[in-house]
Amino acid sequence: MTSSSSSTAAVDSGHKIVEPAGAPVAGVFKAIPSLPSVSTDQDGEAPSSRRSSEHDASPDMTNGVDANGVAGTAAGLTPVYKNVIFDFDSTVITGESLEMMLADLLNADPKGKEKMTQIEEWTKKGMNGECSFKEGLTARLNIAAPRFADVQIFHERYCPSALSAGMKELVDDLQASGCTVYILSGGFTDVILPFGAYLNVPKERVFAVEIDWDPVTGAFVALNEANGFVESKLEGASRIKGKFEGTETLIVGDGYTDFKLYEQGITTDFVAYVEHAEREKVVNAAKANGRGCARSTAELRERVFKQ
Ligand SMILES: [Mg+2]
């Protein structure tokens, strides 16, 4: 399985050279010590249910996909869309990258529990609409105080093992069949780029929240507002919507922010990806307006390739 192999390639993160090294930690998401959840999507909405990261294989697969969700070849596959945009957290990967990174960071911190309490207070403020996404995220990062090295540690642990089962094969087949794949996320560009590189999605097609790191110490300095993604995924996507105009474009994600891109006409279709997190509001929106839900990459294949 792709999700259990390791990455050894040096990856240009856009800011620094990141070199994932060493074997990924076995068990991945399940191995994280049980600190409370600290993140939500950009709507401030926690999922109504979160699934285990167990990669259950569906017995009902099509398009030459075997029982483990692995595709054979792109030959004969005809894409439905010119572009497919993937959300990152709980879609491309099995969990929420910020939550995973901060949990690891705070578990190693003697004041981790105290800091987690403070972070949870900011999370609640965000969920109650008492602060903006940017304000809440900045506050949480200031408390957790990540350094660029923590991003590199994250890659060593989780890239590529945290990828959703079959995601590598799906993205490979989409691109081999002529579809252009993008990743748009409310997560951090620096966190996503090595996964993008592993999936052969070039950094020019990865759009997410940029962080300014101290060039000497590698400490978190501030969120960079330049591309609009720290305001919201919708704002960021609005600024690059010309890439998708006039073409059949699908967005796949678990968040209501992902649905908003479709609702606002930036994409022509929406599929709710509910393998890892399922939000009632998103599922209902996808059923009423989009192309429904996919519970696995195998089910997603049935939406993105002509049958
Ligand atoms: Mg997501």
Q: What is the pLDDT of residues 58-81, one digit of tens each?
A: 333 344 444 444 444 456 899 999
- Joined together, the tokens standing for residue 9 give 């390639």
Domain boundaries, the chain: 2-25+45-51+58-304
Ligand 1 midpoint to CA 293 (Å): 14
- Confidence label for 99 from pLDDT (cuts 50, 70 and 90): confident
Q: Where are the alpha helices (H) located in 245-291, listed in sequence order?
A: 256-263, 280-289
pLDDT at 191 exceeding the cut of 80: yes
Ligand 1 midpoint to CA 256 (Å): 9
Q: What is the mean pLDDT of residues 145-160?
A: 96
Q: Is 0.85 topped by the overall pTM?
A: no
Q: What is the pLDDT of residues 237-288, one digit of tens each?
A: 999 999 999 999 999 999 999 999 999 999 999 999 999 999 999 999 999 9
Ligand 1 midpoint to CA 262 (Å): 15
- Confidence label for 45 from pLDDT (cuts 50, 70 and 90): low
**CB burial of residue 6 (10 Å; 0-12, 13-18, 19+):** middle
> Pairing between strand 277-278 and 249-253?
unpaired
Q: What is the pLDDT of residues 164-180, one digit of tens each?
A: 999 999 999 999 999 99
CATH architecture of 2-25+45-51+58-304: 3-Layer(aba) Sandwich (3.40)
Ligand 1 midpoint to CA 190 (Å): 16
Ligand 1 midpoint to CA 273 (Å): 8
Ligand 1 midpoint to CA 180 (Å): 20
Q: Do 90 and 276 meet the contact criterion of CB atoms below 8 Å apart?
A: yes
| Cis bond upstream, residue 36 (ω within 30) | no
Ligand 1 midpoint to CA 129 (Å): 19
Ligand 1 midpoint to CA 184 (Å): 10
Ligand 1 midpoint to CA 176 (Å): 25
In degrees, to the nearest 5, what angle opens at C-alpha 242 toward C-alphas 237 and 247? 105
**CB burial of residue 17 (10 Å; 0-12, 13-18, 19+):** exposed
